[in-house]
Structure 1
Amino acid sequence: MNQDVKSENRPQLSNVLVAASLRADQWRHLNASARAWASASPSNASKQREHCQERLDDVLRLEHCWAYPGERLLTALRNALGEGDAATFARLAQKVSAAILSGDYRRDEHAWELDDDVDRTVLDALPPDILGVQDKPYFEVMVVTPADPGQWLRSKDEMRRMRRPEDPFHYTAVHVASFEDAALAMMVNHDLQAVVLVDGFGFNSKHDIPDLKDFVSRHVELDEDDSRAGTLSLRLARAIKGSRPELDLYLLTDRSPEELAGSDEAAPLRRVFHHVEEPMEIHLSIIDGVKDRYETPYFDNLKKYAMRPIGTFHALPIARGKSIFGSNWIRDMGHFYGTNILFAESSATTGGLDSLLEPTGNIKKAQEAVARAFGAKRAYLGTNGTSTSNKIVVQAVCKPGDIVIVDRNCHKSHHYGFVLSGAQPYYVEAFPLTQYSMYGAVPLRTIKQALLDCAAGGKLDRVKVIDMTNCTFDGHMYNPRRVMQECLAIKPDLIFLWDEAWFGFARFNPMHRRRTAMGAAAALTARYRSKAYRAEYDAWKEKHGDIDPSNPAMLDEHWLPDPDKVRIRVYQTNSTHKSMSAFRQGSMMLVWDEDFHHVEGPFEEAFFAHTSTSPNLQLIASLDLARRQMELEGYGLTLRMTDLALKIRRAVNTHPLISKYFRVATPEDMIPAEFRESGLRDYGPPDSSWSAAIDALDEDEFALDPTRLTLICGAAGFDGTQFKGLLAERFDIQINKTSRNSVLVQTNINNTHSDAALLIKALADLSREIESRLSQEGTVGAQVFADRVKSLMTDVPDLPNFSRFHDAFREHPDGASNEGHMRPAFFMAYEEDNCEFVKLNSDEVDKRLRDGPEMVSANFVIPYPPGFPIMVPGQVITADTIAFMRKLDVKEIHGYHAAQGIKLLKPSALGNRRASSM
């Protein structure tokens, strides 16, 4: 960075998403400035020292939010700067910057020490417990206190002295003096695991941070009206739980702890103490709280099991590894995988291993921990991927004849679930993104219209489930609170299935959490139980009266459900392996269902039907561990991966050469303006403030997950499949989703800045190659390139909508609702005599489209990409579907074999069949 850049031009807190990233950048800038000062000529030293002062001022704005580097190292830095000691200042700046970047302060006691030639005498005051902690996980505890800051250092040392060698973790305290400082530290410090609230602190920060309120108000309401000391601590507790629910909260108060502990106000607190009469109990409580989240019941027991000398007289020869290491031919398997994975294998459920199908021990405890971590009432572990989890939920909550309003573009597992359960899908369409050959999400107006059509046809009582994908493969996030509220106003006992296969991580930061199913379920449950909502509903009811399904104005009204009738019934599936540290096929089913007692039996049966009696033990253990990691560090990990995605987006779209051929699609590109009421064009400055972006996440009908980057490659002359292969073969970059002219780049908790640099370097190299080739090939080459780009970016096929089910599979063919009996159509195709094939490009297809008889699909046809079924059993095939198929350039189409053609149900087989007779 240019050394002459003034402080006011540097990134401000209000302009960043992740303050921890800003902090690391500022320390790196300080380190660079310090080195420049240390190596400066005498004539330039004064100017370089001024730069260091500016950089240090930037750094010190936020350093009170973290325990490291602490007052001792910061004082030494200030002193070195004040005394003009450039060498010492540079050495300290480099030391702290490196420790923050690497995280060494968590495991290396030397990171906390001063250099020998700075001030050796202060080393005697270094807490002895810092030594020997390399193998213990480190965290920080925030103490919000009215005590004089002059006493904080002594208080920190006293807390350190409470620690014992047998403690499984070690921690350091961060002291703050106000509500605002605590809210800021809670948001920026990813090392926090616990908060101790000492009654009596004030509201306003005394630090000079002009943009503090703007930053904090993204997730915490800053209202000074009720700033009495006795209530401020409880307000802060609620605010912290709302933003970071994983943190343990402890209150130290002079008020009667017995009365307070039993009140609803104390619900967010883990424990209440009578001020500081039991300091060791506070320490033990802090350790115990973190230990509860750290415990992985199944994984811990599996480790113990692997160390036992066991003779196996059951199936699974691979267990204990004797058949591997004693083999002449497959010993390399043991060398590759190691001994632990073999020692930790068994087909027994004895020895504490528990049964996934009938959990009573550590799997049961693991599922309870998952429910706690993900904000659910119940949780179930899935070992066959979310494909199976979706089928389990669909089969559990649906029976033959139930109507499910479902996104036609949802994962194929939902469609197969309808076949298994006998539920009748009412397919609704997502808005199209024709230019990218993909679909977005289903507008709320479309969902409400489907409900009203069913009401008009006297079938609303049969509508059981709303089934949507959130977020979609391409990153479209619904507003689940709004969807559920307005649908429940029409039918108050609806069940919602949100397929969040790609979105499991979203629970762990407040930016994404507001768009999750479980977050919405918790918010709506609290809202509908409140007195304020009842008053709001009564006023609304008096104004609007009863719902009239025939009134078209209803589609555009924001309707409210009756609090006496509404039931919150929400199911969420997530592919844990897609966004968290779990083995492939690891999945979770999360439940918030106020009527689950009606579903528990069918859910158990569906779980039995689809879950292997020989589940993979390592997979179960990895789900246990994924929960542990996310509950203890998911906040920081998910924010960092979001920040990294935003940096990639900016690097691509602002690069003068790369942006000529490649571009990351923005929210403005991916969401039509009618569903983006805020007008948000892109995330963060200069396109929007972060406060505006957060407001858009709260209010807009759809939002775009910033961690999912649709990278447009068509302008570079590459189709998605071609570009995916090129990235893998030349640059060792793996992706798995493409469209006609794009690939999907998704950041996750595994990605680093080096990964981002690899991608940017690849795009830059390719852009230079294109420039070079075009400069050499002349006019003819330029025209060939332009034609290729036009074919990818302009001459794109229209996207087909679902047409309708054939009349043979509809009970009321003339009705407005479009549900159909897919199950009998699916099984009709089992009889060869019922089926015929027509070649896609044959004249017969065109003739039948023009003159009939109608062509009716006998099976699912699913191109990859885009991965949604363009045909389902019983669907009437129309011209737009055929046109789309003819323009497809993908090699993988499930359910279609070019040599045979399209599989159809014969008109003669459909002749006299009616849905009502099946």
Structure 2
Amino acid sequence: MSRDMNGSHLDHLFSNSAARLDRWRDLNAKAQRWAAEARAGKSQEGSAPVQGALADLRAMEPYFAYPGAQLLRAVDDRLADGDALGTARLVLRMSNALLSGSYRYDESEWDAADDTSAEAPDRLPPGLGAGVRRPYFETLFVSPMSATRAASVCQEIRQLRRPDDGLVYEPVLVGSFEDAVLATILNGKIEAVVIYDGIPFASKHDANLLRDFLAAYAHMDTYTGVSPSEIGIKLARFIANIRPELDIYLLTDRKVEQLAGDSAASDIRRVFYEAEEPMEVHLNILEGVRDRQATPHFDNLKQYAMRPISTFHALPIARGKSIIKSNWIRDFGEFYGLNLFLAETSATTGGLDSMLEPTGTIKVAQEKFARAVGADHVFFVTNGTSTSNKMVYQAVTKPGDIVIVDRNCHKSHHYGMVLSGAQPLYVEAFPMTEYSMYGAVPLRTIKQALLDLQAEGRLDKVAMVTLTNCTFDGHIYNTRQVMAECLAIKPDLIFLWDEAWFGFARWSPFLRPRTAMGAAAALERWRDDPAAQQAWDAQVQELGAQWDPKDPRLLERQLVPNPKAMRIRVYETDSVHKSMSSLRQGSIVAVRDEDYDHHVSAFHEAVFIHASTSPNAQIIASLDIARRQMELEGYELVMRAIEVALAIRREIAQHPLISKYFSVLGADKMIPPEFRPSGFSDYLAAETNWLTAVKALKDDEFCLDPTRLTLVCGTAGFDGTAFKNLLASKYNIQLNKTSRNSVLLQSNINNTRSDVAALIKVLLDISEGIEARLRAEGEAGRAAFAAKVASLMEDVPNLPNFSRFHDGYRDNPASATTEGNMRTAFFAAYDEDECEYLPLMNPALDDRLKNGPELVSANFVIPYPPGFPIMVPGQVIDADTIEFMRKLDVKEIHGYNAARGIKLIQPSTISGKSKG
């Protein structure tokens, strides 16, 4: 492994493909410089810089099919001959092929000859010439063979191709356990892995730091003593933990019948007897990838659009004739294309599956999505994650149930509890007052709420814990630890993780363990491990089987659930359209609930209540397509999205002028140190290396989503809303979340490095404008600017916590916990005669705060930003909340009528109403 590859560069950890392409650009630049010097007769360093760049690159290349050993040998030969021009031509062609991806379909790119019009090497089956495009991927073969034998094996594999395969793959051959892991991490083009049993463990490459990283991240050191007869299965398990979407095949000379039935081989798609016909392996590789490539609903929709159908149902837009033949709206059809209308039909006419009772292609598409995200069930939702959340509340909670919920979660959760009658017990996130935003809820706070209910004998009333993962601003929970410690207190708790912004994380090996489904799978594996029972027994020895919920040790130590009593009951909602290639409103509910059968009828009822009887077939198709893309290239796309975010951080921090006015907040600013025992501070910090970042992602109570960047603009004299509007109106840069003095930038699978360049140029333009204005305005202008910055960065309102529900909306006002009957208060506000309004600046409001009677909110009041309720129905409004509202400078406040004031429930109404 080269020095650079073993360095502390985080982009090499999070986006290996980009790091590799950077090295190829460097090699090309040096080769072109050498060629230019040779033409001019001024060569001073000769080929040394090219050879150095090639040496840095060479360590990665065995893990990729292109350019391969033959082309690299051709470069070596030209370097040895001192052929600067020939070297430059070949390196340029190889670099361009990698950047454009042309090697995937243009056979001439694999030829070392300068004259690429010459006959290409025999890489395609008969009847298929260059230019025939078929989906391309790479297959990793893990076999202890010599380099000479490897070349002939590659050729034998290529000769298995047939004209009707439909797909084409290139082999990547490695010879050890460690090399297989490296290839899986580095090469996003790999879609299948073929493991020959009996491979050695250690790589021949020098990769000490990477070994440390793997040991820290995945306990790779536990594999070093594995016997040769077991190493193939162990490697399959390891690769499945890194990239669960890959198809893994094992070739062995053992009793394959027994091995295929072993639960230890559950990650292996098929086991082959090593001496069997290689064509069977080839066909299985293709079948596995085709299975992920298949999009049953989208494919059915395309076929439906090709059928000659006459429509006599209530959907005039179907088939598009009312549009294409129109004198006035024909441009609508020209803009969107005829297929949009040919693929439209009424849900009750037949031809396409039903969303409400899927039995055909939608059912299969949902099953494929469940496999992709590691769930038992997935339900498609075509009206957003707001509806997904309400479905879960409707299905698994009932009137009187208590839900422990982050007060700062999306409004759909609050409305979901109004609909189901569940009572929220709000728990508070840690504040980031300087930036007018909240973080996430500490685990200690959640445990305290559960233990308080246990102390009062009401733990049985708790149905669910609801948290947002990750938060709008990028705070990610340690989901496994949260669920484990909560299950230690109540073993049958249901968890709803709102991952509207985090669906992409499934395809990152670093982020997946922090997703709801990833953590649920980890808990299941832990429960099956004998060590789990040992940990429980040790805890019983210390705390007793029936602990005192007021024992302070319960908050201080990490609690262990009883593996024999705990249930895995996890629901995850994803806005697929927010991080994958889905149309707006495309969402899913992912279920991994061992007691789902108890709720299956209720869940179907919730679907009937909330799902449209006329779902958009195009949204369903886009969910199908989004799953296909992520299963086949999500790993690489997510890595690139992370690399884009790291590039933005780096360029802003390093630019001498931009960094004067703008900065991206690191973990040290957004997560208090007590929640970061790893010591991780920022992705750009000098002390940060692979191991620090990985330890933070693995162990810290909270970590930051690397794709989300909080850009501070208050130091440039802009409030968040004004800066957002400036970017949109003048520079065509769009974003949606702001705070008083910051905006949120998000990188996703759609972004490129060109987008980074565009953003940096805009920030430079704005910074230069500030500099010019300050020079022109002199001392007075600089003073005014400093005052503006101070008002945005220092004169910030305190962030209010949830106060309490009024006693009239509480089942037990004497309880130490704060849950309330929000549903009753919500519907009490429907009668305008029983409500009153008080203007925000009216002195009478301050008098009521001081002398009573208490102010009780009649509805939800939700400022945008921050986008969560600062008042909910039945809440007693306190002075902190009023002060916060008075200092808000946002124009959009849902539930607040500026002309009339705050809507309140009259005290007489509360005293005269019964709860229920």
Interval of TM-score (by shorter of Structure 1 and Structure 2): over 0.9
| 1:177 aligned onto 2:203 | no
Question: What is the alpha-carbon distance in structure 2 between the residues aligned to residue 846 and residue 760 of structure 1?
Answer: 47
Q: CA deviation at 1:206?
A: 1.3
Q: CA deviation at 1:371?
A: 0.5
| 1:359 aligned onto 2:354 | no
- Describe the superposition over 1:264-318 as per-residue Cα deviations: whole angstroms up to 9, x where unpaired: 1211111111104211111110000001100101000000000000011111100
Matches within 5 A, 1:557-576: 557-576=557-576
Quote the residue 1:627 is aligned against: 627
Quote the residue 2:90 is aligned against: 92
- C-alpha change, 1:452 and 1:37, in structure 2 (3 Å) is same
Q: CA deviation at 1:116?
A: 3.4
Q: CA deviation at 1:251?
A: 0.7
- Describe the superposition over 1:822-862 as per-residue Cα deviations: whole angstroms up to 9, x where unpaired: 00100011111110000000101111011111110000000
Quote the residue 2:611 is aligned against: 611
Question: What is the alpha-carbon distance in structure 2 between the residues aligned to residue 442 and residue 704 of structure 1?
Answer: 14
Q: Tell me the secondary structure at the aligned position of residue 181 of structure 1.
A: helix
Quote the residue 1:425 is aligned against: 424
Question: What is the alpha-carbon distance in structure 1 between the residues aligned to residue 215 and residue 4 of structure 2?
Answer: 23
- C-alpha change, 1:118 and 1:335, in structure 2 (3 Å) is closer
- C-alpha change, 1:119 and 1:895, in structure 2 (3 Å) is closer
Instruction: Report the AA paired with residue 475 of structure 2.
Output: H
Question: What is the alpha-carbon distance in structure 1 between the residues aligned to residue 21 and residue 397 of structure 2?
Answer: 51
Quote the residue 1:3 is aligned against: none
- C-alpha change, 1:198 and 1:98, in structure 2 (3 Å) is same
Question: What is the alpha-carbon distance in structure 2 between the residues aligned to residue 233 and residue 80 of structure 1?
Answer: 40
Question: What is the alpha-carbon distance in structure 1 between the residues aligned to residue 55 and residue 309 of structure 2?
Answer: 62
Question: What is the alpha-carbon distance in structure 2 between the residues aligned to residue 59 and residue 619 of structure 1?
Answer: 43
Quote the residue 2:279 is aligned against: 280
Q: Tell me the secondary structure at the aligned position of residue 45 of structure 2.
A: helix
Q: 1:32 aligns with which of 29, 49, 67?
A: 29
- C-alpha change, 1:457 and 1:262, in structure 2 (3 Å) is same
CA contact (8 A) 2:394 2:419 kept: yes
Matches within 5 A, 1:25-64: 25-40=22-37, 44-64=42-62
Q: CA deviation at 1:349?
A: 4.4
Q: CA deviation at 1:674?
A: 1.1
Aligned pair count reads 909
Instruction: Report the AA paired with residue 27 of structure 2.
Output: L
Quote the residue 1:870 is aligned against: 870
Matches within 5 A, 1:384-399: 384-399=383-398
Matches within 5 A, 1:334-413: 334-413=333-412
Structure 1: runs of 5+ lacking an equivalent: 1-6
| 1:453 aligned onto 2:452 | yes
Question: What is the alpha-carbon distance in structure 1 between the residues aligned to residue 411 and residue 615 of structure 2?
Answer: 23
Q: Tell me the secondary structure at the aligned position of residue 229 of structure 2.
A: helix
CA contact (8 A) 1:301 1:353 kept: yes
Quote the residue 1:324 is aligned against: 323
Q: CA deviation at 1:817?
A: 0.7
- C-alpha change, 1:457 and 1:133, in structure 2 (3 Å) is farther
Quote the residue 2:235 is aligned against: 236
Matches within 5 A, 1:270-309: 270-309=269-308
CA contact (8 A) 1:485 1:561 kept: yes
Q: CA deviation at 1:226?
A: 2.0
Question: What is the alpha-carbon distance in structure 2 between the residues aligned to residue 490 and residue 188 of structure 1?
Answer: 41
Quote the residue 1:4 is aligned against: none
Quote the residue 2:732 is aligned against: 732
- TM-score with structure 2 setting the length: 0.97
CA contact (8 A) 1:811 1:914 kept: no
CA contact (8 A) 1:684 1:690 kept: no
Q: Tell me the secondary structure at the aligned position of residue 896 of structure 1.
A: coil
Question: What is the alpha-carbon distance in structure 2 between the residues aligned to residue 799 and residue 862 of structure 1?
Answer: 14
- Describe the superposition over 1:791-824 as per-residue Cα deviations: whole angstroms up to 9, x where unpaired: 1000000001100000100112121010000001
Question: What is the alpha-carbon distance in structure 1 between the residues aligned to residue 210 and residue 827 of structure 2?
Answer: 63
CA contact (8 A) 2:835 2:905 kept: yes
Question: What is the alpha-carbon distance in structure 1 between the residues aligned to residue 651 and residue 451 of structure 2?
Answer: 46
- Describe the superposition over 1:103-134 as per-residue Cα deviations: whole angstroms up to 9, x where unpaired: 1111222221223359969x455555673464
- C-alpha change, 1:274 and 1:685, in structure 2 (3 Å) is farther
- Describe the superposition over 1:170-207 as per-residue Cα deviations: whole angstroms up to 9, x where unpaired: 00000000111110000000000000001122111113
Structure 2: runs of 5+ lacking an equivalent: none
- C-alpha change, 1:811 and 1:212, in structure 2 (3 Å) is closer
Question: What is the alpha-carbon distance in structure 1 between the residues aligned to residue 428 and residue 568 of structure 2?
Answer: 25
- Describe the superposition over 1:25-68 as per-residue Cα deviations: whole angstroms up to 9, x where unpaired: 01000000000100115775251410011001011111000000
> Taking every aligned residue pair, what percent have the same amino acid on both sides?
58
Matches within 5 A, 1:714-733: 714-733=714-733
Question: What is the alpha-carbon distance in structure 2 between the residues aligned to residue 565 and residue 267 of structure 1?
Answer: 25
Quote the residue 1:527 is aligned against: 526
Q: Tell me the secondary structure at the aligned position of residue 276 of structure 2.
A: coil
Quote the residue 1:21 is aligned against: 18
Q: CA deviation at 1:14?
A: 6.4
Question: What is the alpha-carbon distance in structure 2 between the residues aligned to residue 636 and residue 518 of structure 1?
Answer: 20
| 1:70 aligned onto 2:65 | no
CA contact (8 A) 1:582 1:625 kept: yes
- Describe the superposition over 1:863-887 as per-residue Cα deviations: whole angstroms up to 9, x where unpaired: 0010010000000000000000001
CA contact (8 A) 1:219 1:243 kept: no
CA contact (8 A) 1:76 1:118 kept: no
Q: CA deviation at 1:514?
A: 1.3
Instruction: Report the AA paired with residue 246 of structure 1.
Output: E
- C-alpha change, 1:125 and 1:138, in structure 2 (3 Å) is closer
Q: Tell me the secondary structure at the aligned position of residue 149 of structure 2.
A: helix
> Larger deviation: 538-547 or 187-196?
538-547
CA contact (8 A) 1:684 1:693 kept: no
- C-alpha change, 1:124 and 1:632, in structure 2 (3 Å) is closer
Q: Tell me the secondary structure at the aligned position of residue 792 of structure 1.
A: helix
CA contact (8 A) 1:202 1:227 kept: no
Quote the residue 1:161 is aligned against: 159
Question: What is the alpha-carbon distance in structure 1 between the residues aligned to residue 345 and residue 151 of structure 2?
Answer: 53
CA contact (8 A) 2:125 2:162 kept: no
Q: CA deviation at 1:544?
A: 1.8
Quote the residue 1:268 is aligned against: 267
CA contact (8 A) 1:386 1:587 kept: yes
Question: What is the alpha-carbon distance in structure 2 between the residues aligned to residue 46 and residue 846 of structure 1?
Answer: 81
- Describe the superposition over 1:305-355 as per-residue Cα deviations: whole angstroms up to 9, x where unpaired: 000000111111000000001111100100001000000000134554110
Quote the residue 1:897 is aligned against: 897
Q: CA deviation at 1:685?
A: 5.8
| 1:253 aligned onto 2:252 | yes
Question: What is the alpha-carbon distance in structure 2 between the residues aligned to residue 39 and residue 128 of structure 1?
Answer: 40
Q: Tell me the secondary structure at the aligned position of residue 710 of structure 1.
A: strand
- C-alpha change, 1:128 and 1:47, in structure 2 (3 Å) is farther
Quote the residue 2:639 is aligned against: 639
Question: What is the alpha-carbon distance in structure 1 between the residues aligned to residue 599 and residue 417 of structure 2?
Answer: 17
Question: What is the alpha-carbon distance in structure 2 between the residues aligned to residue 370 and residue 125 of structure 1?
Answer: 38
Q: CA deviation at 1:709?
A: 0.3
Quote the residue 1:102 is aligned against: 100
> Larger deviation: 345-354 or 326-335?
345-354
CA contact (8 A) 2:6 2:210 kept: no
Q: What is the Cα-based RMSD across aligned positions, in Å?
A: 1.6
Quote the residue 2:749 is aligned against: 749
Instruction: Report the AA paired with residue 16 of structure 2.
Output: A
Q: CA deviation at 1:161?
A: 1.2
| 1:538 aligned onto 2:537 | yes
Instruction: Report the AA paired with residue 284 of structure 2.
Output: S
Q: Tell me the secondary structure at the aligned position of residue 353 of structure 1.
A: coil
Q: Tell me the secondary structure at the aligned position of residue 519 of structure 1.
A: helix
- TM-score with structure 1 setting the length: 0.97
Q: 1:12 aligns with which of 7, 16, 36?
A: 7
Question: What is the alpha-carbon distance in structure 1 between the residues aligned to residue 105 and residue 350 of structure 2?
Answer: 35
- C-alpha change, 1:727 and 1:238, in structure 2 (3 Å) is same
Quote the residue 2:81 is aligned against: 83
Question: What is the alpha-carbon distance in structure 2 between the residues aligned to residue 413 and residue 225 of structure 1?
Answer: 49
> Larger deviation: 517-526 or 347-356?
347-356
- Describe the superposition over 1:365-387 as per-residue Cα deviations: whole angstroms up to 9, x where unpaired: 00100100000011100001000
Question: What is the alpha-carbon distance in structure 1 between the residues aligned to residue 89 and residue 553 of structure 2?
Answer: 69
